[in-house]
Amino acid sequence: MKPEDIERYGDELYEALLARRTVAPLLEREPDITLDDAYRIQSRMVARRVAAGETIVGKKIGVTSKPVQDFLGVFQPDFGQLTSGMVCREGEPIDLGRLIQPKAEAELAFVLKRDLVGPGITAMDVIHATDYVLPCFEIVDSRITDWKIKIQDTVADNASCGVFVLGQTKGDPKDFDMSLAGMVLEKNGELFSTSVGAAVQGSPVNAVAWLANTLGVLGIPFKAGEIILSGSQSALVPVVDGDELVCTIGGLGSCRVSFRGRSAV
């Protein structure tokens, strides 16, 4: 794909973010778009956010579960970049008016205490580099109309990043088995789903190691203090005004999020 096309699509997605509107799937308009093209479009979109005053605060891993991989026709995760403009505080309702077509995911977040530079990173390296882990919610949001996405669409759209909320209970990753830790997700006081960490690449720590190595090949390090969202352990949860979600991870604690207002779609 030509540089001018990369720039045009990156700008289109950034402008859709600002205007709270959707655009037609990129793959429908550019059938030959590659995954590399999609990541270059993502970089352009994120660069626009940084130029507008946001900072990079971490990374997110997506497409970690087999059902989602089957749906998108890919068999490896993808990644996006987290910015300061995506951070929401637990206890403060998320304004749906800033989102387009949001869905919530419950997952485990890692906060690093030292740089983690691939390739060659193992799960044990991730554990030693992690300051603490927390339960969290990522509210994914697509700028692609009706979520009609394939892997190239979601990658270009910064892995469908919306906003995220970190819980307040910090855990030492050496203190519990992240692959066996159960997660219970409740919606409006009723059970919505249950899962275990093994649903994410065998363990959330494996997903973080994968991304450290993938980024390392690209010359991108994980930096001390960065937040890494390791991938959803729950099904996608559509949310509307008044909804409240709670995810609880065994041996760690809970994260709670509520919503107000109306989304753009």
Q: Give the tens place of pLDDT for each residue, 120-163.
A: 999 999 999 999 999 999 999 999 999 998 889 999 999 999 99
Spell out a b/e string for 215-230, using b for 16 or more CB atoms within 10 Å of the CB, else e: bbeeebebeeebbbbb
Query: What span, in angstroms and rounded, lies between the C-alpha atoms of 159 and 62?
Result: 7
8 A C-beta contact, residue 131 and residue 97: no
According to the model, what pLDDT value does residue 29 have?
96
The string of pLDDT tens digits covering residues 108-118 is 999 999 999 99
User: What Rg do the C-alpha atoms of the chain give, in angstroms?
Assistant: 17
CATH of the domain at 231: 3.90.850.10
Residue 265 resides in a domain: no
Compute the C-alpha angle 131/223/153, nearest 5°: 110
Whether the pLDDT of residue 75 is over 70: the answer is no
Whether the per-residue pLDDT at 63 is higher than 90: the answer is no
List phi, psi (to 5°) of 77. Answer: -70, 175
82 strand-pairing partners: 58
The residues facing 17 across adjacent strands are: none
Give this prediction's pTM. 0.95
- The CA distance from 46 to 13, in Å, is 10
* Closest by Cα among 181, 164, 180, 126 to 255: 164
Cβ 198 vs Cβ 174: under 8 Å: no
| Average pLDDT rounded to a whole number, residues 222-234 | 93
| Tens digits of residue pLDDT in 38-53 | 999 999 999 999 999 9
Query: Is 61 within 8 Å of 228 (Cβ atoms)?
Result: yes
Count of helix runs (H) and strand runs (E) in the chain:
7, 13
CA 173/CA 36 separation, integer angstroms: 33
Residue 200: give the domain boundaries. Answer: 3-260
Domain-embedded: residue 51:
yes
Altogether, the residues listed in the chain come to a count of 265
* Residue 166 belongs to some domain of the structure: yes
Instruction: Please report the pLDDT score of residue 232 as a whole number.
Output: 87
74 found inside a domain? yes
SS3 state at 160: helix
- Whether 107 is covered by a domain: the verdict is yes
Answer yes or no: is 35 within a domain: yes
Residue 13 is assigned to a structural domain of this protein: yes
Provide the domain count of the chain. 1
State how far the Cα of 255 lies from the Cα of 161, in Å rounded to an integer.
19
Confidence of residue 74 (pLDDT cuts 50, 70, 90): low
Answer yes or no: is pLDDT of 65 > 80.
no
Q: What average pLDDT does the structure give for the chain?
A: 93
The number of CA neighbours under 13 Å toward the Cβ of 50 is 11
